[in-house]
Amino acid sequence: MEYLIHIAILVTLYGMLGLSLNLVVGETGLLSLAQAVFYGIGAYSTALLMVNEHTNFFVAVGAGILISGIVALIIGLVFSRFKGEYYALGTLGFGVIVYSIFLNWKTLTNGPLGIPGIPRPELVGVSFFDNFLFLLLSLCGLALVYGICIFINRSSFGRVLKAIREDEEVAEVFGYKTLYFKLLIFVISATLASIAGALFGSYLFYIDPTSFSVDESIFILSVVILGGLGSTRGVMLGALLLIVLPEALRFVGFPSDIAAQMRQLVYGVALISLMLFRPQGLLGNYRL
């Protein structure tokens, strides 16, 4: 039972990350490879405040959201002027830089040793140390992120984002300051990703830089692409499949000496086949 709860918590965390990235990649058409940065900022901000300052988890999450938003605002002012591959390369470089900061700023992040002893949340005397209770908390976080994404998708703001995706120059002709829309959605996406980071660190009691590398950003992007660009339900399905499928393959009777390699092979073939025959993803509205 504990194993299933663990898988469910991971699905909720990556669901939040996928939904947050979908606002930028799926709704606005901007290929971002920096989502793990804000995931990490949320995790480190919350962890440092809880471990060093004994701050309440929910207060620390608020601080992490604020810090992620400020960083995204500063960096987004530069990125929002880019288009296409230049936007992707810019965010990729930013991800590499921040990962290096996590890894080498030992006085703040403890470098490659990471931060141990992160406590679980407590609220009005209720501790979320039990994994089932933590799953309920994660589901509340997922519901919050999902609700925000649905609201944006159905709002006039969301319609402008779709217009930017289809043709940014036409949107500008109609009087929309597309730079501000791209900047705002980048900041919103970053703050939502920081919530998942805060929950991640508290769940594992420990964080280190390897969880927030560029590879992690690519995995989060895979969740969005697999589920379907521009589809909130598709992103949730993508998170479910990318977390559950590798775990399910553990129970397939591969020979023990090649089991790990065969699981990766089947996993990779399944993803490639989907991209060949369903390039817009399972429930997607657009192609990348």
> What are the beta bridge partners of residue 147?
none
In a domain, 128, yes or no: yes
Tokens standing for 109? 């992040």
Lowest mean pLDDT among 32-46, 94-108, 238-252, 254-268: 254-268
Tell me how many domains the chain contains: 1
Model confidence at 18: pLDDT above 90:
yes
- pLDDT at residue 259 greater than cutoff 60: no
Residue at 78 is within a domain: yes
Residue 260 sits in which domain range? Answer: 2-277
E strand spans, the chain: 115-116, 122-123, 126-127, 206-207
Between the two ends of the chain, the Cα-to-Cα distance in Å is 38
CA distances from 94 to 76, 90, 113, 213, 281 (A): 11, 6, 22, 11, 27
- The strand pair at 126-127 and 206-207 is best described as unpaired
* Nearest-angstrom CA–CA distance, 8 and 243: 9
Q: How far apart are CA 20 and CA 35, in angstroms?
A: 8
Q: Which of 61-75, 186-200, 245-259 has the lowest mean pLDDT?
A: 245-259
Residue 17, pLDDT above cutoff 60: yes
Q: What percent of the chain has pLDDT over 90?
A: 65
Q: Which residues pair with 127 in a beta bridge?
A: 122
Please state, as a whole number, how many other Cβ atoms lie within 10 Å of the Cβ of residue 214: 19
pLDDT band at 104; cut points 50, 70, 90: very high
Whether 266 shows a pLDDT value over 70: the answer reads: no
Backbone angles phi, psi at 127, to 5 degrees: -95, 140
In a domain, 282, yes or no: no
**Pairing state of beta strands 126-127 and 115-116?**
unpaired
Structural domain contains residue 208: yes
Is 286 within the bounds of a domain?
A: no
Residue 283 placed within a domain: no
Question: Is 288 contained in some domain?
Answer: no
Phi, psi (deg, nearest 5) at residue 173? -60, -35
The CATH number of whichever domain residue 215 belongs to comes to: 1.10.3470
pLDDT of residue 208: 95
Asked if residue 284 belongs to a domain, the reply is no
What is the tens place of the pLDDT at every residue in 135-144? Answer: 999 999 999 9
CA atoms of 110 and 187, how far apart (whole Å): 27
Average pLDDT in the chain: 89
For residue 186 the two structure tokens come to: 């980048």
H/E segment holding residue 93: helix 84-104
- % of residues, the chain, pLDDT over 70: 93
Q: How far is CA 136 from the centre of its chain?
A: 19
Q: Is the pLDDT of residue 267 over 70?
A: no
